Structure 1
């Protein structure tokens, strides 16, 4: 547990140090969009998660002897989905929304950035699942968990701090279950970076963008894929259910109607 706390603390400090540099980078490159209140703020500050994960991976490689496949897989998975999210942040539009909408456009042979992100994310999830799974059933289950977890955090990222709170709550729930120790360290490190970034997001000073939500989501999916079978069954059931629900109903309106969810959503704003 002490090592996990060290990863969290060091990642927090690293993120605090590099945050202003990335903040100015986004302003200088005019990576600015309107938030839900119509205010122009930097988008894509979730880029800070990439160097943090990379530094954590380097530390694990130097510290541990033996096979480094899992930590490198975690790094590559986060980098790949972060890249897909960054593409959506820089080039995407919101004319087509929802997973179903992007899939319909793909069936018409029209590729949206959201459609690319979904298709590429599915391939990334499948590749990781082949590496981490032992049989076809687990490959399918883990592919769905990684893909749906990635999109789940993206679904939450509609109000300041909501996706970050969803990530932190999910992360705490996962580390309380049996998971690969390497993933535990990396997830704690990412949680430290998230805590450092959280005040920026809560005060609507910046948006982490899809690059951030994708990295947080895929990391949860990868970690969850290493948990016990019954845990994955429950998680997959929840993820499928929430995706079906959000195709018909507004998640924001639902949160406003449920007292405990509304309370959590407003914490820190």
Structure 2
């Protein structure tokens, strides 16, 4: 792959989100306001939700430009496929999250709540629809990122559960973004220390505009002006799962899948917000930027 193409792709990843941020935020905020996508935050104040639409729109435009530049430079097919899968997967997960945001069901929560509504009331909640759609997306994408049954199973599990993990933390301003940054940092450590085959660097090339977009969106989320919503948390969660599945060794993938499952089970019985409130250092970190 030509060096100039990589440099242009990196330049696009850094500059395009900066250029797109203001118009995307204004345009998406108008759409959300017209559709009355307003939800009470943890203080009971009305705030626009589904703000992740801004991140997904910025990501889609930037990655498409990157793919075009790399394709014109004759980049390997595997590299282009990685970028396309990341963009399509994030967009699909955002769509499932958008449906849940639009439905506005805040009564039925957790796996127990959604499965309970299905079994007891024969009612398919918007959250259950999101779980089914997200699961199908995970199965589809995992077929392209892993070889062999066990690697596929682990990758599928990561892609399916990681969006919900970000959702678990999207209960306070900017908390989900901070968790996203933490998990990306851990993925980078795993990629460097464990080593992978193929083109893991391509994942980081396409993940960079997502990181830049979250940095730009952070003040708006932390300031309580707009929420990520399921739209944004699902998309960022998928990006986490995809990064682990494509840029870290299988041992790291399995370890984080077990960790994510443990968090999901714990969330059914424990309030993460209460845990954070009880730990001074976690509380300070949680409140940083607000």
Same-fold status (TM-score > 0.5): yes
Number of residue pairs matched by the alignment:
269
Q: TM-score, normalised by structure 1?
A: 0.93
Deviations 1:83-126 (A, max 9, x none): 00000011131221112221233344421000011111111111
- Gapped runs of 5+ residues in structure 2? 1-5
170-179 vs 250-259, greater mean Cα deviation: 170-179
Alpha-carbon distance, 1:6 to partner: 5.5
Which structure would you say has the larger Rg? 2
RMSD of the TM alignment (CA)? 1.9
2:107 match: 95
> What is the CA-CA distance between 1:32 and the residue it aligns to?
1.4
Task: Select 1:165's aligned residue among 143, 153, 178.
Answer: 178
Deviation, 1:4, is 4.7
- Work out whether 1:21 is the aligned partner of 2:50: no
* Deviation of the 1:5 alpha carbon: 7.0
Is the Cα contact below 8 Å between 2:16 and 2:62 reproduced in 1? Answer: no
**SS of the counterpart of 2:39?**
strand
| TM-fit CA distance, 1:181 | 2.0
2:160 to 147, 150, 153: 147
| Rounded Cα–Cα distance in structure 2 between residues aligned with 1:174 and 1:17 | 31
1:36 aligned residue = 42
CA contact (8 A) 1:8 1:193 kept: no
Equivalent residue runs for 1:238-257 within 5 Å? 238-257=259-278
Aligned equivalent of 1:204: 224
Contact 1:8-1:191 at 8 Å conserved across structures: no
Partner of 2:240: 220
Ranges of 4+ aligned residues in structure 1 off by more than 6 Å: none
* Structure-to-structure mapping, 1:70-81, within 5 angstroms: 70-81=82-93
TM-score (norm 2): 0.87
Aligned partners of 1:223, 1:107: CA distance in 2, in Å? 35
| Corresponding residue number in structure 2 for 1:125 | 138
Measure the CA separation in 1 of the matches of 2:180 and 2:136.
22
Mapped to 1, the partners of 2:23 and 2:13 lie a distance apart of 15
Q: Separation in 1 of the partners of 2:64 and 2:23?
A: 18
Change (3 A) 1:250 1:5: farther
- SS in structure 1 opposite 2:147? coil
Task: Tell me the equivalent position of 2:126.
Answer: 113
Q: Which runs of 5+ in 1 are unaligned?
A: none
8 Å contact kept, 2:180–2:237: yes
> Which shifted more, 97-106 or 193-202?
97-106
SS of residue in 2 equivalent to 1:44: coil
Shifted more, 67-76 versus 81-90: the winner is: 67-76
Partner of 1:30, secondary structure, is coil
Report if the CA contact (8 A) 1:8-1:190 is conserved. Answer: no
Partners of 1:112 and 1:70 lie apart in 2 by: 32
Give the match's secondary structure for 2:268. Answer: helix
Name 1:262's counterpart in structure 2: 283
Moved more, 6-15 or 72-81: 6-15
C-alpha contact (below 8 Å) 1:150/1:213 kept by paired residues: yes
CA distance in 2, matches of 1:46, 1:172: 21
